Amino acid sequence: MGDYFAVNVSSPNTPGLRSLQAREPLTRLLSELQNRNQGFAAPKPILLKIAPDLTDEALDDIIELAQETKIAGLIATNTTIARDMLTTEQRQVVAMGNEGLSGAPVRARSTEVLRYLRRGLPATFPLIGVGGVTDAESALEKLDAGASIVQVYSGLVFAGPTLPAHVLCVD
């Protein structure tokens, strides 16, 4: 079994899932998961993965809920449904569909969300920075924004299995 549970309520590719990021349903979900988890002899840390498309008000709710429900950390962020940062022709963007975008299109916003969360949470509260990490510079960007640790996903697709070695080679 894993070392922690990631509660992903932020995938834009699952219809209706993102509605669980609203305060009331998220409170119920995290409270129930925490209650069940604490019933185990060796409970695992629960981390919440959030969308980059949340408003500041929604992020404030996440900050409060993370502390109220005593989850172990936040993963900021998943893929984005935003398309405004794309330079691709509109007809091609429409043809892509509404699935979440990862990599470069999410990098700036995921870093903004991370920075916002860090300002609202204690310095010791774990934040996993993810979204657009493709090299040492982008990994450092996440750490500078307040990440405790950095996670990569699409970067591995674009840079290949040597990406972790390149990320660790910082001058």
Q: What is the C-alpha to C-alpha distance for residues 77 and 25, in angstroms, rounded to an integer?
A: 19
Q: Is the previous residue joined to 87 through a cis bond, with omega within 30 degrees of 0? A: no
Residue 11 appears among annotated catalytic residues: yes
Tell me the three-class secondary structure of 19-46, residue by residue.
HHHCHHHHHHHHHHHHHHHHCCCCCCCE
Are the C-beta atoms of 74 and 128 separated by less than 8 Å? Answer: yes
Helices (H), ranges, 69-153? 90-96, 104-120, 136-144
**CA of residue 17 relative to chain centroid, distance:** 15
Residue 99 DSSP symbol: P
The catalytically annotated residue of 10, 11, 110, 148 is: 11
Please tell me whether residue 108 adopts helix, strand or coil conformation.
helix
Task: Name the phi and psi angles at 42, rounded to 5.
Answer: -130, 80
Catalytic residues: 11
